């Protein structure tokens, strides 16, 4: 693609989504009306709740963080030709490692705790990504099975820890004790409740861009993903590059888990990831596997999630109806993606 | 005399710059087995695809029983009773043989299954082909799958059965069985076109033979008038070898040595078996042979993408059996892959990113990749190799075949300048290229040799080899069965070795 074509390409990405968004909002209004709500009030509330107020924006930013990190993880895999559908498992693995580190580090100097907690999350996710990575690099085993299996393992691990050894006896549900204050992420914008995780995610987006487009490793990874046999004949260690990409991908997802623990929940909980992994795949595809385009895509997605969530409060929709609304929006976006891909 | 069952006249067909059929004629008489011979690329498959409605000829006439007809799509051919069995079967592996046979027949959903089965059983009886109807096709041996394909064609009412190289995948016993059943088919009223590269099969089983060369018919003869010597002459032509395109150089020390190399593919078949060959500095060694006799494995084992299961492979005197692609590159081995789309190009990446592939670690020895450097190199390559493309940032997948090959040439020959390249393996480097692009590539190969490089040129085009090579080795069934030095170049002798060395 020439640079102008690339620029044109970027606009081509935007238009279908703008259209899809409009359709989604109309559908949403219709749905709300059908369910007995006031459509205009709902839409206004949706915007206010996600972008139109400080608190709403804060929530949107907080939601953007795991979505962006997760989609960067997926993008890194996709660029190397592997499909990491284990982002959820890696988020949980990162959250477990981060929580564990926070509990163990009570003797450490206070300033060191947070960095170590975040790094632990990164490492936890990387470990989760390394199993499919190694199996793929050494034995050529499909990453799809392995990552899905590991999702289950991670969920079981969280269930065990949150109800067993780390359980908070006063809460009476599957959540752990809170992590110490020095292990928590500072607020970026205290009044809006936005934590500093978004800065990490934005830095990661730039970092992934740099890795992919400005390093030899990234070049080789993209070559391996584009045409493995040509890359191989061009001297690219295809399997190793792809294996490393899966590990790094797991690391990014793990960081998302750590941020959720230390910035938002302050503890490990079972429902830590409400399907971020699947949404991350969607965002990765919507942003055409481009780490920088993933930023607006993730943010728009987060705004939709936060906004539709608010419908429960603003027009009193039952939570199941909120899921229906979110599902409809997703379907419209997917259809837009299908239309864009089908177009010449 | 009654008109032939099928007559093709003056058929012309081109694919981009490549003229596949250049006024080809062909007649098939009712009730005969008609052999169709010709070198790789002679146009046999294309001609029969025109008859089967898979390609539309650019020009030419078609008659059935003296009546002009037009075949625009496969369905027309089926209606005229033409059925073709391709070299790669088109069966549905997890369907049973019966399901595959009746697949695609119009209205089959409305017919009762037991009635269909009785029909197929009757057909098998009539033509003397029996297959286990209830077995899944993927569990059947290749020879039986082929019978399923033939039955499928006959079930759709084929009176003309075209078999494209039906014997390549078969064991000798299966070949015998196939040839015997062709006779039974003819007795049942079917006429057969039998494409092959093997002379003895033609001489054994066909009534008449047509030989094609460069998109035209050379001759159609009765079997009685055909003997191996003349058939080979017709196939490869009698023209004297073209004048060498280059001065013979005095070869230096060996760069590539293969001794009794054996390579086994993923199916467990030995695709190279006891292959021995030497290429020296400044030498261009050609490898001739009918495709499918181990050429791919030879290229792969030298490039380092396949490992020898046995034998010795030395590069510049050092054993290299266990070395991978990167080690080969460091030792100065370059490759022009046969399948440029599959093995040569990163289609979604830019021309610039494609130009540096293979030498990217040379240009970027550290961590950083600099797109500006790649662009600069690409602009250079575009100019020097006259690559037609919008610019260095264009996606490589959009380039035409000839321009892709120029891109690959730019990659290879620039690397040759940058670092001491010693050995170039080129596999069918000019296939599908137009004349100027071919000339261009030949000149580069010659230049490479003149600078002391060694070239292993694996080609289906005998004229290319006669023009360029110092020596030609003939690959047959995974080994080099004959070698010819330039003084001994002789189309007939080479052609004979290529077709299995039938005694004259
Ligand atoms: N679909 C296609 N697109 C481009 N070129 C083609 C195509 N099919 C055939 N050709 C070219 O047309 C020429 C004739 O090819 P064809 O397949 O008819 O030869 P053939 O006699 O069957 O050879 P072989 O013995 O190798 O099967 C060759 O140069 C080939 O590269
Ligand atoms: Mg053919």
CATH of the domain at A209: 1.10.3470
> B101 and B48 in one domain?
yes
The most confident of the ranges A20-34, A216-230, B222-236 is: A216-230
Nearest CA in chain A to B304: A233
What's residue A5's pLDDT? 46
What's residue A343's pLDDT? 47
What's residue B246's pLDDT? 67
> A203 and A190 in one domain?
yes
> What percent of chain B lies above the pLDDT cut of 70?
94
> A161 and A218 in one domain?
yes
What's residue A1's pLDDT? 41
What's residue A4's pLDDT? 46
* Residue B294, phi-psi category: left (phi > 0), alpha (psi -120 to 50), beta (remainder): left
> Using a 6 Å cutoff on CB, does residue B402 contact ligand 1?
no
Q: Does A92 have pLDDT greater than 60?
A: yes
Who has greater pLDDT, B245 or B489? B489
Residues of A in contact with B347 (CB under 8 A): 226-227
Identify the CATH number of the domain in which residue B209 sits.
3.40.50.300
Closest CA to B256 of B411, B427, B451, B453: B453
Starting from the CA of residue B47, give the closest ligand.
1
Residues B126-157: tens digit of each pLDDT: 888 889 998 888 888 888 888 999 999 999 88
Mean pLDDT (chain B) is: 88
Residues of B in contact with A236 (CB under 8 A): 357
Write the residue with the smallest CA distance to atom 27 of ligand 1. B40
The most confident of the ranges A139-153, A251-265, B132-146 is: A251-265
- Per the domain annotation, does B424 fall within a domain? yes
> B170 and B85 in one domain?
yes
Q: Does B209 have pLDDT greater than 90?
A: yes
> A165 and A95 in one domain?
yes
What's residue B503's pLDDT? 44
The number of domains in chain A is 2
> A341 and A309 in one domain?
no
> Using a 6 Å cutoff on CB, does residue B43 contact ligand 1?
yes
- Per the domain annotation, does B248 fall within a domain? no
Q: Which residue bears the tokens 């490479």?
A: B448
What's residue A237's pLDDT? 92
> B136 and B20 in one domain?
yes
What's residue B236's pLDDT? 82
> B221 and B103 in one domain?
yes
Starting from the CA of residue B41, give the closest ligand.
1
> A146 and A44 in one domain?
yes
**Range of A344's domain?**
1-35+319-344
Residues B310-327: tens digit of each pLDDT: 999 999 999 999 998 888
> B291 and B150 in one domain?
no
Who has greater pLDDT, B190 or A29? B190
Nearest-CA distance from B364 to chain A in Å? 7
Beta-sheet strand order (sheet of B216-222):
B82-85, B160-164, B191-195, B33-38, B208-213, B216-222
What's residue B431's pLDDT? 79
> A180 and A82 in one domain?
yes
Side-chain-side CA neighbours of B261 within 13 Å: the count stands at 32
**Ligand 1, from B24, B37, B43, B437: best to mutate by most atoms within 8 Å of Cβ?**
B43
- Per the domain annotation, does B246 fall within a domain? no
- The interface residues of chain B toward chain A in range 424-443, judged by CB-CB distance below 8 A, are none
Residue A100 CA to residue A12 CA, distance in Å, equals 45
Q: Which one of A214, A219, A233 has the shortest CB-CB distance to B325? A: A233
| Of A14-18, B140-144, B364-368, B494-498, the least confident | A14-18
> A262 and A185 in one domain?
yes
What's residue A288's pLDDT? 86
3-state DSSP call for residue B314? strand
> Using a 6 Å cutoff on CB, does residue B18 contact ligand 1?
yes
Residues of B in contact with A2 (CB under 8 A): 390-391, 393-394
Nearest CA in chain B to A219: B369
- CA dihedral for B446, B447, B452, B453, sign (positive or negative): negative
Chain A interface includes B305 (CB < 8 A): yes
Side-chain-side CA neighbours of A299 within 13 Å: the count stands at 14
> A339 and A276 in one domain?
no
- In this structure, what DSSP letter does residue B248 have? P
> A282 and A178 in one domain?
yes
Residue B28 parent element (H or E): strand B18-28
**Range of B93's domain?**
6-236
Query: Taking chain A, what is the end-to-end CA distance rounded to the nearest angstrom?
Result: 14
Residue B289 CA to residue B428 CA, distance in Å, equals 12
Residue B446 parent element (H or E): helix B435-450
The pLDDT-based confidence of B504 (bands split at 50, 70, 90) is: very low
> A198 and A71 in one domain?
yes
Structure tokens at A62: 């907080």
Nearest-CA distance from B392 to chain A in Å? 8
> A108 and A2 in one domain?
no
> B215 and B71 in one domain?
yes
The answer to whether the CB of A297 falls within 8 A of the CB of A18 is no
- A and B: number of Cβ contacts within 8 A: 82
Neighbours of B384 (CB within 10 A): 13
> B155 and B24 in one domain?
yes
Residue B81 CA to residue A63 CA, distance in Å, equals 66
Residues B238-290: tens digit of each pLDDT: 776 666 666 666 778 999 999 999 999 887 888 999 999 999 999 999 999 98
The answer to whether the CB atoms of A229 and B326 lie below 8 A apart is: no
> Using a 6 Å cutoff on CB, does residue B289 contact ligand 1?
no
What's residue A157's pLDDT? 94
> B487 and B439 in one domain?
yes
> B408 and B268 in one domain?
no
Question: Is the complex ipTM more than 0.95?
Answer: no
What's residue A140's pLDDT? 82
What's residue A295's pLDDT? 95
> Using a 6 Å cutoff on CB, does residue B42 contact ligand 1?
yes
> B445 and B309 in one domain?
yes
Nearest CA in chain A to B373: A214
What's residue B143's pLDDT? 83
Q: Does A261 have pLDDT greater than 50?
A: yes
- In this structure, what DSSP letter does residue B308 have? -
Q: How far is the CA of B89 from the centre of ligand 2 (A)?
A: 14
Write the residue with the smallest CA distance to atom 2 of ligand 1. B15
Nearest-CA distance from B369 to chain A in Å? 4
Nearest-CA distance from A237 to chain B in Å? 8
> Using a 6 Å cutoff on CB, does residue B40 contact ligand 1?
yes
Starting from the CA of residue B39, give the closest ligand.
1
Residue A103 CA to residue B464 CA, distance in Å, equals 74
| Of A4-13, A211-220, B25-34, B423-432, the least confident | A4-13
What's residue B493's pLDDT? 87
> A254 and A203 in one domain?
yes
The answer to whether the CB atoms of B303 and A218 lie below 8 A apart is: no
What's residue B241's pLDDT? 67
The answer to whether the CB atoms of A1 and B345 lie below 8 A apart is: no
> B221 and B257 in one domain?
no
Q: Which one of B342, B357, B395 has the shortest CB-CB distance to A234? A: B357
DSSP secondary structure of B59-125 = EEEEEETTEE----SHHHHHHTTEEEE-SS----TTSBHHHHHHTT-TTGGGS-HHHHHHHHHHHHH
- The interface residues of chain B toward chain A in range 154-193, judged by CB-CB distance below 8 A, are none
A294-314 helix and A39-50 helix, angle to the nearest 10 degrees:
130
Look at residues B390, B419, B448 and tell me which one is the last residue of a structural domain. B419
> Using a 6 Å cutoff on CB, does residue B38 contact ligand 1?
yes
Residues of B in contact with A230 (CB under 8 A): 337, 342-346, 357
- Per the domain annotation, does B470 fall within a domain? yes
Q: Does B297 have pLDDT greater than 80?
A: yes
Nearest-CA distance from B343 to chain A in Å? 4
Mean pLDDT (chain A) is: 86
Q: How far is the CA of B219 from the centre of ligand 1 (A)?
A: 20
Q: How far is the CA of B198 from the centre of ligand 2 (A)?
A: 13
Residue A300 CA to residue A259 CA, distance in Å, equals 20
Closest CA to A116 of A99, A141, A130: A99
Residue A66 CA to residue A56 CA, distance in Å, equals 17
The answer to whether the CB atoms of B368 and A222 lie below 8 A apart is: no
The number of domains in chain B is 3
What's residue A292's pLDDT? 95
The answer to whether the CB of B231 falls within 8 A of the CB of B222 is no
- Look at strands B423-427 and B333-336 and give their pairing: parallel
Look at residues B419, B434, B453 and tell me which one is the last residue of a structural domain. B419
* Three state DSSP letters for chain A: CCHHHHHHHHHHHHHHHHHHHHHHHHHHHHHHHHCCCCHHHHHHHHHHHHCCCHHHHHHHHHHHHHHHHHHHHHHHHHHCCCCCCCHHHHHHHHHHHHHHHHHHHHHCCHHHHHHHHHHHHHHHHHHHHHHHHHHHHHHCCCHHHHHHHHHHHHHHHHHHHHHCCCECCCCCCCEECCCCHHHCCCEEEHHHCEECHHHHHHHHHHHHHHHHHHEHHHHHHHHHHHCHHHHHHCCCCHHHHHHHHHHHHHHHHHHHHHHHHHHHHCCCECCCCCCHHHHHHHHHHHCCCCCCCHHHHHHHHHHHHHHHHHHHHHCCCCHHHHHHHHHHHHHHHHHHHHHHHHCC
> What percent of chain A lies above the pLDDT cut of 90?
44
The most confident of the ranges A156-165, A243-252, B114-123, B264-273 is: A243-252
Starting from the CA of residue B37, give the closest ligand.
1
Look at residues B236, B271, B306 and tell me which one is the last residue of a structural domain. B236
Residues A7-30: tens digit of each pLDDT: 555 566 667 667 777 777 787 788
> B279 and B218 in one domain?
no
Residue B371 CA to residue B92 CA, distance in Å, equals 46
Q: Does B160 have pLDDT greater than 90?
A: yes
């Amino acid at each position: 693609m020439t640079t102008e074509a690339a620029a044109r390409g970027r606009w081509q990405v935007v238009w279908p989504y703008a259209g899809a968004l409009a359709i989604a909002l109309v559908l949403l209004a219709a749905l709300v009306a059908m369910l007995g709500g006031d459509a205009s009030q709902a839409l206004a509330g949706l915007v206010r709740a996600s972008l139109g107020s400080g608190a709403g924006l804060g929530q949107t930013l907080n939601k953007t963080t795991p979505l962006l990190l997760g989609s960067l993880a997926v993008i890194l895999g996709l660029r190397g030709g592997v499909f990491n559908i284990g982002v959820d498992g890696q988020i949980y693995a990162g959250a477990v490692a981060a929580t564990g580190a926070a509990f163990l580090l009570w003797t450490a100097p206070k300033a060191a705790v947070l960095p170590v907690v975040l790094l632990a999350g990164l490492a936890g996710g990387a470990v989760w990504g390394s199993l499919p990575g190694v199996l793929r690099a050494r034995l050529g085993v499909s990453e799809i099975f392995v990552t899905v299996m590991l999702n289950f393992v991670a969920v079981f691990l969280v269930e065990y820890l949150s109800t067993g050894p780390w359980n908070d006896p006063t809460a009476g549900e599957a959540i752990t004790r809170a992590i110490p204050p020095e292990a928590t992420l500072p607020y970026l914008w205290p009044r809006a409740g936005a934590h500093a995780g978004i800065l990490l995610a934005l830095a990661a987006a730039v970092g992934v861009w740099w890795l992919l487009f400005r390093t030899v490793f990234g070049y080789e990874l993209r070559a391996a993903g584009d045409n493995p046999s040509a890359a191989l004949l061009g001297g690219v260690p295809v399997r190793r590059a792809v294996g490393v990409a899966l590990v790094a991908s797991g690391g990014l997802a793990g960081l998302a888990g750590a941020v959720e623990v230390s910035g938002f929940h302050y503890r490990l909980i079972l429902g830590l990831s409400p399907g971020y992994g699947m949404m991350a795949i969607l965002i990765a595809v919507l942003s055409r596997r481009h780490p920088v385009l993933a930023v607006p895509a993730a943010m728009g997605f987060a705004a939709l999630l936060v906004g539709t969530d608010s419908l429960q409060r603003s027009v009193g929709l039952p939570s199941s109806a909120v899921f229906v609304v979110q599902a409809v929006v997703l379907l419209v976006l997917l259809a837009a993606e299908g239309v864009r891909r089908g177009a010449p | 005399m009654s008109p032939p069952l099928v007559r093709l006249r003056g058929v012309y067909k081109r694919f981009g710059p490549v003229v596949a059929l250049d006024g080809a004629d062909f007649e098939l008489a009712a009730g005969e087995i008609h052999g169709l011979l010709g070198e790789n690329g002679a146009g046999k498959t294309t001609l029969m695809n025109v008859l089967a409605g898979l390609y539309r000829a650019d020009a030419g006439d078609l008659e059935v029983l003296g009546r002009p007809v037009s075949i625009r799509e496969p369905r027309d051919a089926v209606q005229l009773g033409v059925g073709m069995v391709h070299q790669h079967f088109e069966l549905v592996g997890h369907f049973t043989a019966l399901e595959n046979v009746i697949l695609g027949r119009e209205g089959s959903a409305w017919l009762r299954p037991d009635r269909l089965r009785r029909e197929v059983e009757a057909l098998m009886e009539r033509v003397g082909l029996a297959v286990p109807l209830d077995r899944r096709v993927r569990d059947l041996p290749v020879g039986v799958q082929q019978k399923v394909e033939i039955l499928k064609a006959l079930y759709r009412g084929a009176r003309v059965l075209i078999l494209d190289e039906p014997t390549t995948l078969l064991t000798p016993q299966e070949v015998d069985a196939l040839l015997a059943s062709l006779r039974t088919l003819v007795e049942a009223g079917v006429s057969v076109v039998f494409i092959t590269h093997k002379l003895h099969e033609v001489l054994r089983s066909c009534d008449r033979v047509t030989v094609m060369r460069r998109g035209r018919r050379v001759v159609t003869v009765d079997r009685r008038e055909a003997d191996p010597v003349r058939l080979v002459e017709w196939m490869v032509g009698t023209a004297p070898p073209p004048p060498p395109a280059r001065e013979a150089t005095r070869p230096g020390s060996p760069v590539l040595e293969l001794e009794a190399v054996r390579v086994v593919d993923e199916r467990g078949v030995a695709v190279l078996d006891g292959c021995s060959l030497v290429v020296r500095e400044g030498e261009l060694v050609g490898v001739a042979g009918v495709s499918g006799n181990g050429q791919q494995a030879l290229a792969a084992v030298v490039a380092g993408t396949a490992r020898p299961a046995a034998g010795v492979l030395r590069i510049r005197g050092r054993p290299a059996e266990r070395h991978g692609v990167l080690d080969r590159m460091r030792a100065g081995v370059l490759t022009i892959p046969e399948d440029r789309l599959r093995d040569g190009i990163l289609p979604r990446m830019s021309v610039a990113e494609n130009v540096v592939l293979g030498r990217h670690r040379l240009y970027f020895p550290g961590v950083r990749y600099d797109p500006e450097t790649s662009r600069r190199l690409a602009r250079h390559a575009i100019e020097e190799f006259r690559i037609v493309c919008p610019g260095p940032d264009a996606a490589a997948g959009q380039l035409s075949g000839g321009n892709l090959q120029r891109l690959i040439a730019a990659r290879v020959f620039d690397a040759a300048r940058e670092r001491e390249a010693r050995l170039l393996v080129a596999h069918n480097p000019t296939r599908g290229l137009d004349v100027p692009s071919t000339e261009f590539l030949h000149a580069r190969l010659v230049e490479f040799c003149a600078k002391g490089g060694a070239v292993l040129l694996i080609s289906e085009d005998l004229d290319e080899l006669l023009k360029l090579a110092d020596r030609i080795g003939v690959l047959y069934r995974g080994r080099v069965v004959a070698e010819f030095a330039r003084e001994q170049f002789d189309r007939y002798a080479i052609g004979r070795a290529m077709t299995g060395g039938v005694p004259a």
